């Protein structure tokens, strides 16, 4: 299964944008890039997903590199409630087996 690489932790100031990177150099052509986040004492929560084109939703934006070997989750204005562990995951149509890495722990300072 393809793997992803993320920084262990990142820090942001409240109200500022946050760019969370993810490398997935062994991604296959049918792998979707998904992002989930996990707040303390909760199960993971879906954030966004995409295949090739950049995606926007009410929570975040997903920027996908042209070669698809990396992607960036963008939180446009970080709030204290965005402090969580963010996971970048690859999912394939040929049978689903999500592999979670260690994720990036995001700290947000007031």
Partner 1 sequence: DAGVTQSPTHLIKTRGQQVTLRCSPKSGHDTVSWYQQALGQGPQFIFQYYEEEERQRGNFPDRFSGHQFPNYSSELNVNALLLGDSALYLCASSPGWARANTEAFFGQGTRLTVV
Which residue among 18, 22, 27, 44 contacts partner 1 (CB under 8 A)? 44
Burial label for 47, CB within 10 Å (0-12, 13-18, 19+), is buried
Q: Can residue 91 be called a binding residue for partner 1 (CB under 8 A)?
A: yes
Q: Can residue 49 be called a binding residue for partner 1 (CB under 8 A)?
A: yes
Kindly state the DSSP code that residue 69 receives in the 8-state scheme. S
Least Cα distance to 48 among 57, 64, 16 occurs for 57
Q: Can residue 107 be called a binding residue for partner 1 (CB under 8 A)?
A: no
Q: Can residue 101 be called a binding residue for partner 1 (CB under 8 A)?
A: yes
Half-sphere exposure at residue 70, Cβ-oriented, CA atoms within 13 angstroms: 9
Q: Can residue 98 be called a binding residue for partner 1 (CB under 8 A)?
A: yes
CA 25/CA 23 separation, integer angstroms: 6
Would you say 16 or 45 has its CB closer to partner 1?
45
Residue numbers at the binding site for partner 1 (CB under 8 A): 30-32, 36, 42-46, 49, 51, 85, 87, 91-103
């Amino acid at each position: 299964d393809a793997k992803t690489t993320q920084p262990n932790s990142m820090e942001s100031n409240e109200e500022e944008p946050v760019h969370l990177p993810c490398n997935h150099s062994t991604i296959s052509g049918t792998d979707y890039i998904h992002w989930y986040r996990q707040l303390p004492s909760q199960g993971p929560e879906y954030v966004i997903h995409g295949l090739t084109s950049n995606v926007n939703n009410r929570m975040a934006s997903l920027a996908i590199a042209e070669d698809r070997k990396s992607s960036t989750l963008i939180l446009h204005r970080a709030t204290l409630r965005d402090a969580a562990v963010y996971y970048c995951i690859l999912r394939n149509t040929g049978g689903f087996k999500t592999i979670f890495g260690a994720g990036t722990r995001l700290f947000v300072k007031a």
